[in-house]
Structure formats: C-alpha cells, structure tokens
Amino acid sequence: MNWIYITESASALNSLTWTVVVVGIGIVFLSLLIVYWFFRYVLTFILNFRLKSFARKKGIDPAEVQTAKTIQSGEVNAAIAMALYSYFNELHDVESGVMTIKRISRHYSPWSSKLYNMKNL
C-alpha cells in the first residue's frame, strides 16, 4: 500500500522537477541577457547623454563631443594594460627560491618550560 503512494508522488515529482529546471535556467539566461543589454546599450546611452549635456553647459557644440564609444581606442587600452602589467611585475623581488634552515639545539626553551605554568604559593 505504501509503495503505491511513493511511486505516485515520485512520478509527480519528476514532471515538476523538469519544469522547475527549465524555468530556472530560462530565468538565469534571461537575466544575463538583460544585464548584457543594460551595460551594452543603456549605459552607453546614459554616458553619451551626460557628455552632451555637459558640453551644452560649457558652450561647446554637442556634435563635436566624442561619444562614450570613441573616447578610448584599442591602442590606448593596450598601452594602459601593458603599463599595469609591467608595474605589478616590478613590485616583487626576484628571489632564488632556496630556503635555508639553521638548526640550533637548545635544551631550555621558555615555550616548554613547566616553571611558568606553576603557581607560586
């Protein structure tokens, strides 16, 4: 009798499981697409609008202002990347990688001394 209920609930769970998986994956990809669109188009539009409004305040013709896409070219980005790469590589010293350990045998060490663990009465 109990086996019948278990198999019925398992078959209902299988159909719901696939539905939840498909809907979950769809939500994730839809949210990634929305984030891509936001950074690709909406953010560029906002930056261009702010550049043009700033140009109007300064008295410059908005048609002469560079847009957000043309502010930096690929050569400028490559030069910045190479400068950062060379800067971060020069921060560390070049070491030999050899570690030497000098062993000293001491019979008395305050770390293992029982004298410091005793209470004076």
Q: pLDDT tens for residues 61-94?
A: 666 666 555 566 678 888 888 999 888 887 666 6
How high is the pLDDT of residue 112?
Answer: 65
6-16 burial, b at 16+ Cβ within 10 Å, e below that, comes to eeeeeeeeeee
Q: Per-domain residue ranges for the chain? A: 19-73
Q: pLDDT tens for residues 18-54?
A: 888 899 999 999 999 999 998 888 888 888 787 777 7
Q: Is the dihedral of CA 27, 32, 37, 42 positive or negative?
A: positive
